[in-house]
Amino acid sequence: MADSELEVELIHAYRPLQAFDMVLLPGSKTVMNDLRWLKNQGLFNEIKAFNKPIFGLCGGYQMLCQNLNDPDTLEHNTPGSVTGFGFIDDDVVYQNPKVLASGSYSLFSYSIKGYEIHYGRMNRYPLYYQSPQVSGTHVHGVFDDGDFRSHYFKAINSAYQGYDYRNYREAQIQQFTDRVAENIDISALLGVLQAES
């Protein structure tokens, strides 16, 4: 993991969660099906009883609501509804058109660059929600922001020093482009592409 102060564990089956400092519910392409999976595994009840920070991103954010409804089968094979965690007093309805947006968002008292890609709509908290224990947003990239990241994790553990993820990402991209430039004849490749167009 890039940030050596954090240890992330993916949960693939039931296990008690109280040993963890927080729960992060990530995005999902089939949110209602994944919510049913959490219930079938017994993890739904574990998360409901979790008394430490919970954060939902995009589909994970939608799971935090009261009810999720997909009447037009936009994300699921059959129309239907499912009960969410109920941490957020709002409902999710999957509707066209799909929200596709990017830019600078005012979230959690920070200006954060990110993007949205979702069918799910929420009336009361369309962009983000924050309470002392439960938070979430439809915006991807929120933890890329160093200021928000430091604030959020320091609230969990005051010893957290912070990490500049954006610099790390830029360095990784530069390493990749350097490796491509060293191993691929770009001039020859461009010549082939121009000949075909």
Highest averaged pLDDT of the listed ranges 25-34, 116-125, 161-170, 176-185:
116-125
Q: Both 171 and 153 in a single domain?
A: no
Q: Both 81 and 178 in a single domain?
A: no
Q: Both 27 and 63 in a single domain?
A: yes
Specify the pLDDT at position 4. Answer: 85
> What angle, 0 to 180 degrees and rounded to 10, lies between the N-to-C axes of helices 146-156 and 165-183?
130
> Is 140 a catalytic site residue?
yes
pLDDT, tens digit, for every residue of 75-105? 888 899 999 999 999 999 999 999 999 999 9
Q: Both 142 and 156 in a single domain?
A: yes
Q: Both 196 and 143 in a single domain?
A: no
Q: Both 38 and 86 in a single domain?
A: yes
State the CATH number of the domain containing residue 145. 3.40.50.880
Out of 58, 65, 118, 138, which one is annotated catalytic? 58
Specify the pLDDT at position 189. Answer: 75
Percentage of the chain modeled with pLDDT above 70 = 98
d(CA 194, CA 25): 45
Count how many domains the chain has.
2
Would 136 be classed as within a structural domain? yes
Looking at 8-145, list the stretches that DSSP marks H as alpha helix, in order from N- to C-terminal side. Answer: 31-41, 43-49, 59-63
Would 194 be classed as within a structural domain? yes
d(CA 195, CA 197): 6
Would 51 be classed as within a structural domain? yes
Would 196 be classed as within a structural domain? yes
d(CA 157, CA 65): 27
Q: Both 159 and 63 in a single domain?
A: yes
Would 28 be classed as within a structural domain? yes
Beta strands in the chain (DSSP E): 23-25, 54-57, 65-70, 80-83, 88-107, 110-122, 128-130, 134-137
Would 122 be classed as within a structural domain? yes
Q: Both 159 and 171 in a single domain?
A: no
> Is 58 a catalytic site residue?
yes
Q: Both 98 and 181 in a single domain?
A: no
Cβ atoms of 89 and 66 closer than 8 Å: yes
Out of 65, 76, 140, 151, which one is annotated catalytic? 140
Residue 178's domain spans which residues? 167-197
d(CA 14, CA 169): 33
Would 9 be classed as within a structural domain? no
* pLDDT-derived band at 197, boundaries 50, 70, 90: low
Q: Locate 112 and state its tokens.
A: 């954060």
**Section 57-84 average pLDDT:** 95
Would 10 be classed as within a structural domain? no
Q: Both 112 and 194 in a single domain?
A: no
Q: Both 157 and 171 in a single domain?
A: no
Q: Both 126 and 194 in a single domain?
A: no
Give, as one character, the DSSP assignment of residue 140. Answer: B
pLDDT, tens digit, for every residue of 102-148? 999 999 999 999 999 999 999 999 999 999 999 999 999 999 999 99
Residue 67's nearest CA partner among 92, 48, 45 is: 92
